[in-house]
Amino acid sequence: MMERGRPKGSRKKYLILILIVVVVAILVAVNMRAKRGKSLPVQVEVVELRDISMVISSSGSIRPKRQVDISASSIGKVTRVAVKEGDYVKKGQFLIQIDPIQLESTVSQLKAALESARANERETFARVHMTKNEFERTKKLFNQGYLTDQEVETAKANHEIAVANHEAARFLIAQQEALLESAEHNLKEVTITAGMDGVVTRLNVEEGEIAIMGTLNNPGTVLMTIADLSTIESEIEVDETEVVHIRLGHKAKVTLDAFPDTSYQAVVTEIGNSPILSSSVSGQQGVDFNVVMTITDTIQNVRPGLSADAEITVAEREGALSIPIQSLTVRRKRDLKGYTPPDSAGAKSGDAEVEGVFVIEGGTAKFREVEIGISSQKYFEVVSGLEEGEKVVSGNFKAIRDLKDGQRVKVTKKAKKK
């Protein structure tokens, strides 16, 4: 007889299946508990008091505070160049001679014309007196009955014509004097002298070349540039997000690529009001502003146009509570423990982000919202939210990015740089 119920082989398979399910459940539970108990390795730094300086850095070049470009005011051949590039010149010193022959001829002609006009004026002046006396005699003879009305009128008209000719002669003299003054000015301009003390930083012509004067639409030949190198400025371009922090009088440090081991003190003397627009490769338009600093130190062997790096100190804090820059992060409100959206808030209120740090408390990392002030290259000033001596997570980047509020952590030491 067969035993009632399940066959023995089927019962055995059933027991094996149950055993497998139990083992898998135990392994899953152990694994989940292990994960819950696993600590994320992080690096920390202590919240301390530090001296912080907020510095804005940018690159540019240096230039003289004052320089002049000397151009030709008339067309002519350069017949003499008395200086060379790099020479120091004094105000009034002779620099360049442009061929003056044509202008000298013009001046001579105008002088002769002026003398002729003056002689004509003297002649007309004498005629005025002569016609006046003749007119007076004619009136007397008319009163005595010897002359007619017509003869009196003729004498009067002759006198008036003489007066008008004399007036015209005087105007002609004024005209010739003006022409002569202009010609003498042009003649003086072809003998070019220095208008200021300085160094010849650029010389663009040589003897024998033709200097061309400028017009409204076409610039003339810039013969040379003289610069006063006693006062040097550095001009940089600063991004719109940073220029708002810069004020006139802020101190700066300038380093020249030509002298990398030396830095020069400077002060901000000019902040541009008009933006400089530039397009990037991606098509986005950047907005920068010119910032000019006057260098207060003396630069030996300075040359205009040298590349410069500037660091402007826009704010300083002594003994400020501070945290490393990398410690500051953001989290959505809904991802923080204990967050409960207010009844009046919309559904998206939990998507709002807050700035804060992860503070180590009893082996766990708890997110703490903080308010920050100025920043240096390494640290943020903490205005509120932390106290001195607390430990905040400072690395590594991946750990801070993935860290969750309330997660268990294990503090590790920073790897030493080789």
Residue 136 backbone dihedrals phi, psi, to 5 degrees: -65, -40
**The pLDDT value given to residue 288:** 92
pLDDT classification of 222: cutoffs 50, 70, 90: confident
Output the CA torsion sign for 52, 56, 59, 63. Answer: negative
Alpha-carbon distance 176 to 110, whole Å? Answer: 7
**The pLDDT value given to residue 308:** 95
- Cβ neighbours, 10 Å, residue 89: 20
Alpha-carbon distance 298 to 267, whole Å? Answer: 14
**DSSP helix/strand/coil, 268:** strand
Distance set, CA 193 to CA 80, 97, 224, 281, 381 (Å)? 12, 9, 11, 48, 58
Q: Is the pLDDT of residue 159 over 50?
A: yes
The model's pLDDT over 296-350, given as tens digits with 9 standing for 90+, comes to 999 988 889 999 999 999 999 999 999 999 999 999 988 888 777 765 555 567 6
The model's pLDDT over 375-401, given as tens digits with 9 standing for 90+, comes to 998 999 999 999 999 999 998 888 898
**Are 170 and 191 in contact, with CB atoms under 8 Å apart?**
no
**Are 231 and 66 in contact, with CB atoms under 8 Å apart?**
yes
Q: Across all residues in the chain, what is the average pLDDT?
A: 87
Distance set, CA 307 to CA 14, 56, 60, 226 (Å)? 84, 17, 6, 20
Share of the chain above pLDDT 90, in %: 70
Q: Which is nearest to 272 in space by CA: 290, 258, 294?
A: 290
**The pLDDT value given to residue 418:** 44
This prediction has a pTM of 0.67
The model's pLDDT over 243-252, given as tens digits with 9 standing for 90+, comes to 999 999 999 9
Q: Which two tokens stand for residue 75?
A: 């067309």
End-to-end CA distance of the chain: 84
Beta-bridge partners for 46: 391
Q: Is the pLDDT of residue 1 over 50?
A: no
Query: Which string of DSSP letters, residue by residue, matches 25-64?
Result: HHHHHHHHHHHHHPPEEEEEEE-EEEEEEEEEEEEEEEEE
Question: How big, in percent rounded to 5, are the helix, strand and coil portions of the chain?
Answer: 30, 40, 30
**Are 397 and 406 in contact, with CB atoms under 8 Å apart?**
no
